[in-house]
Structure 1
Amino acid sequence: MGGNGGSGTNAEKRPNELLTSWFVRSGWSKGELARQVNRRARQLGANHISTDTSRVRRWLDGENPREPIPRILSDLFSERFGCVVAVEDLGLRAAHRTPSVSGVDLPWTGPGTVALISEFSRSDLMLARRGFLGTSLGLAAGPSLIEPMQRWLVPGPPAPPREDSAGAASRGRGRLSRPELELLEATTVMFRQWDASCGGGLRRKAVVGQLHEVTDLLQEPQPAATARRLFKVAAELAELAGWMSYDVGLQPTAQKYFVLALHAAKEAGDRPLGSYVLSSMSRQMIHLGRPEDALELVHLAQYGSRDCASPRTQAMLYAMEARAYANMGQPGRCKRAVRMAEDTFADAEDWDEPDPDWIRFFSAAELHGENSHSYRDLAYVAGRSPAYAGLAEPVMREAVDLFAKDGEHQRSYALNLIGLATVHLLQREPEEGVVRARQALEVARKVRSERVNTRIRKTVDAAVRDFGDLADVVDLTEQLATHLPETAEAV
């Protein structure tokens, strides 16, 4: 029964009322759910999974499927409802998970951080294609996520003394030359550029492999200054691995990499970088329908970097704060955060020091994109308010125009085209919405981003729901079915 996810036991089965409730509210048929489970299993490399309608019926009747089925169901229902739906919420039993693999409450020590990153990246490289890593993780949310992250600011135990450069050289190993270290840093920049232009699905495994190599270097004796720079590289690579995992829909894996990145940033003594990692975690929580958690994370980032982050970084954090407030339905605080983002960004050009590469993405186009999405989200929360949609439209249009001139950030261009399409739909302008959705579809075909693909599908679904009798909408639906792949494989 292993190929169909059965539990292997029929003892005292009772109908699974929790799973049935989520299933009924989803609007899926048993066949649709079975097909989605099979698609997600293939995406993860779990090709032994072959689910059908009879198997779904048995789950609803009380059969507890084997891993990775419970985690796949958790991911599917979380995406469907825009909130974290844990395995336990579905009335299923979660597989036992060791803290080193699944937890977010990890020890804040240098050697421990290196060991955890090494173990997790190795497991990702070895097991992800067979579907055992991403589906063995659980998403943390609420206090179980926020409280461990707050310890980012707590001074850690004193690090054991490291050799100076002369001592490391005399041992004949573990000493990186300056050109070698600079090459590692330059490679991280290159990976980040690839992600921006091609999406997270194309180079994720390469980033994870590079991260694992850096942990090998950190396990060798290094001068203190070199170790700090290596921890910084590890933090940036772990954040990027998390971001790429988020982009292709591997949400628990993404969260674990973000947590490890924050630990590495702490060891590097780089609080602005830590605030950037927290902003990525905040964005993920917004995506998962947890704006309160997102706000807690961004406030933690702002507090931790209040006296050291550049204006560009501070502006990005204000923009994320606005997104959280928008999704919480607090327009006054959202608008204030938008103004703070704009005012702070205006100071970026006068900043005396060069910005790190990881914040270079936050351009005027990105600022407009974030702020317009905040207004758009307010429109959704306020019951499709035309007033907030009207605020979003000119700002979103400016973002799209700027991204159209930017050949590097293609995924952001696609996401903002989709955003503009949704704004036109909110304004009851389906023809304009279709034009922007078609443009987004063309860009999406050039990148490997399940996040982009999913948002296009949701936008087209909204167009069909509200304007399904229009010829342009019918044609767009046919184009979507023909040209957009259903999944972006995580590699």
Structure 2
Amino acid sequence: MRRSILFPKVVEARRMRVYETFTVQFERAAKEVARLDGDATLASVYVSRSTWDRWMVGDIKGLPRRPTCRILEHLLGETAERLFGPAHPDAHQRAETGAAASAERSLGNLGLSPHVAAMESFRLADRQLGGGHVYRSVVHYLNTVVAPGLFSTTDQRENGEVAFGAAVVLTEMAAWMAHDVGRDDLASGHFDRALRLAQSLVDVTAGANVLAGMSHLALQTEQVTAAADLARSGLTRLAVGPRVPALSARLHAMEARALAQLNEGRDAQRALDSARNALALARSVPTSHWVAPFDEAALASEAASALLDLGALDAAAQEAERALALRDASRVRSMAFGQVTLARVLLAQEQVDAACQVGVELLTAGQSVTSLRLSSQLDSLQAEFDRYRQVPEVRDLLSRMAAAAQHRRLLLGSLALPEGPQ
């Protein structure tokens, strides 16, 4: 029997109303609960698509199984009885629902916007397949769906804020996708446009988030001093707006990466400490609509790269292994980048056998990702392995890497973007 329950409202308020997004968060929560409770079986608990669909329409007969309830309570911060109880409680329950209602309101109109589902879908496809598969769809969506809403004369101001915010987020997303297929000219143009659009928003968070992306791109294109300056600009902008710990952490991490490449070790370590301190506060502050996800796995990955550049190999290996342990398996491209970093650290430590093992895992896991960024890093890693060609295991791995590289070139050729504006 269908009835109105609180669960759909809570997951929507937490930006998880897309099944794939919820699943990623649920699996991460399951691993956390398994560790907290000392019960390894909890890590394998999952929610099927059919179960999710029934929950979203209130087609329930009772509470889910106890392990599922435990993870849902950890993930959503509400008791199972509240999640699957009536959505409209009687008077003596209303005081208890204040926090959930407040969280829902804090999302503003964006939670009601169709752009949210589009953003989550594009982001998920990008993470799993690579930007080349999704870029044209994002640009088409921007031009045909988002752009008309920017100049509508019928929208109220808050709806205009939502439209411009969605335009900023999706334009920044398009920038990264363009970079992922080697079109840094397009990426730079998208970032500049996103920053200009962000000026139209009351919330300064969107602009700071774009500056974080621009800093990251500058690192990728070896504009190290510019990367540090952009990160600091983002932190300055964020200082006059609401607290957004995850974004602060990302900006500090970008600054640390740049300082490490500039061989400013003490300042780089200080920036990494600031990033860790900021991220520790993230759970206590609602997630901003305009901020790209940045979690402990992402920070560990950035820290590993910075420490590798500084020559702190033991610390770099620890952070690289931590990043892989924390990263959800569905984040295929992120996992591949993390494995590249770990393999580089192990080679720097001359742990050749261990590096080979990581290399084999990398080739297996990353074969579905078509990313020029990843392909370039794999080519560089192949060159680093070549110094140990006399080792039989390395020769075998190099042969497999060469075959994989040829396959990647064919795939990337089919996804190449034509010259000129898109």
TM > 0.5: yes
- Equivalent position amino acid for 2:366 in 1: A
2:220 matches 1:220: no
- Equivalent position amino acid for 1:204 in 2: Y
Match of 1:425 among 342, 347, 351: 347
- Show the counterpart of 1:186: 117
Match of 1:247 among 180, 198, 216: 180
Asked if 2 retains the 8 angstrom alpha-carbon contact of 1:400 and 1:417, the reply is yes
- Equivalent position amino acid for 1:395 in 2: E
2:304 matches 1:372: yes
Structure 1 residue 463 displacement after superposition: 0.9
Match of 1:209 among 135, 140, 148: 140
Query: How many angstroms apart in 2 are the aligned matches of 1:422 and 1:363?
Result: 23
- Show the counterpart of 2:315: 391
- Show the counterpart of 1:482: 403
- Show the counterpart of 2:49: none
Structure 1 residue 357 displacement after superposition: 6.7
Question: Aligned with 1:289: secondary structure?
Answer: coil
Structure 1 residue 269 displacement after superposition: 2.5
CA RMSD after TM alignment: 1.8
Question: Aligned with 2:113: secondary structure?
Answer: helix
Asked if 1 retains the 8 angstrom alpha-carbon contact of 2:205 and 2:290, the reply is no
Query: How many angstroms apart in 2 are the aligned matches of 1:329 and 1:401?
Result: 28
TM-score between the two structures when normalised by the length of structure 2: 0.68
Query: How many angstroms apart in 2 are the aligned matches of 1:359 and 1:254?
Result: 16
Query: How many angstroms apart in 2 are the aligned matches of 1:268 and 1:194?
Result: 27
> CA offsets, 1:188-211, max 9 Å, x none?
122112212221111110001111
Match of 2:357 among 423, 426, 435: 435
> CA offsets, 1:69-122, max 9 Å, x none?
xxxxxxxxxxxxxxxxxxxxxxxxxxxxxxxxxxxxxxxxxxxxxxxxxxxxxx
- Show the counterpart of 1:324: 258
**Residues 434-473 of structure 1 mapped to structure 2, 5 A cutoff:** 434-464=356-386, 466-473=387-394
Q: Which runs of 5+ in 1 are unaligned?
A: 1-177, 380-387
Match of 1:312 among 246, 251, 260: 246
Structure 1 pair 179/290, CA: closer, same or farther in 2 (3 Å)?
closer
- Show the counterpart of 1:12: none
Structure 1 pair 377/205, CA: closer, same or farther in 2 (3 Å)?
same
> CA offsets, 1:248-291, max 9 Å, x none?
11111101101111111111233112111111111111111111
Question: Aligned with 1:249: secondary structure?
Answer: coil
2:325 matches 1:401: yes
Count of residue pairs brought into register by the alignment: 301
Structure 1 pair 179/301, CA: closer, same or farther in 2 (3 Å)?
closer
Question: Aligned with 1:267: secondary structure?
Answer: coil
Match of 1:231 among 135, 140, 164: 164
Percent sequence identity over aligned pairs: 26
Structure 1 residue 490 displacement after superposition: 3.6
- Show the counterpart of 1:342: 276
Query: How many angstroms apart in 2 are the aligned matches of 1:309 and 1:459?
Result: 39
Structure 1 residue 183 displacement after superposition: 1.0
> CA offsets, 1:106-161, max 9 Å, x none?
xxxxxxxxxxxxxxxxxxxxxxxxxxxxxxxxxxxxxxxxxxxxxxxxxxxxxxxx
More helix by share: 2
Q: Which runs of 5+ in 2 are unaligned?
A: 1-108, 418-422
Query: How many angstroms apart in 2 are the aligned matches of 1:184 and 1:224?
Result: 17
Query: How many angstroms apart in 1 are the aligned matches of 2:348 and 2:401?
Result: 21
> CA offsets, 1:45-87, max 9 Å, x none?
xxxxxxxxxxxxxxxxxxxxxxxxxxxxxxxxxxxxxxxxxxx
- Show the counterpart of 2:12: none
- Show the counterpart of 2:129: 198
- Show the counterpart of 1:382: none
Asked if 2 retains the 8 angstrom alpha-carbon contact of 1:376 and 1:389, the reply is yes
Asked if 2 retains the 8 angstrom alpha-carbon contact of 1:318 and 1:341, the reply is yes
Asked if 2 retains the 8 angstrom alpha-carbon contact of 1:189 and 1:357, the reply is no
Query: How many angstroms apart in 2 are the aligned matches of 1:471 and 1:241?
Result: 43
Structure 1 residue 219 displacement after superposition: 3.3
Match of 2:332 among 410, 415, 421: 410
Structure 1 pair 270/490, CA: closer, same or farther in 2 (3 Å)?
farther
- Show the counterpart of 2:287: 354
Structure 1 residue 416 displacement after superposition: 0.5
Query: How many angstroms apart in 2 are the aligned matches of 1:376 and 1:205?
Result: 35
**Residues 93-108 of structure 1 mapped to structure 2, 5 A cutoff:** none
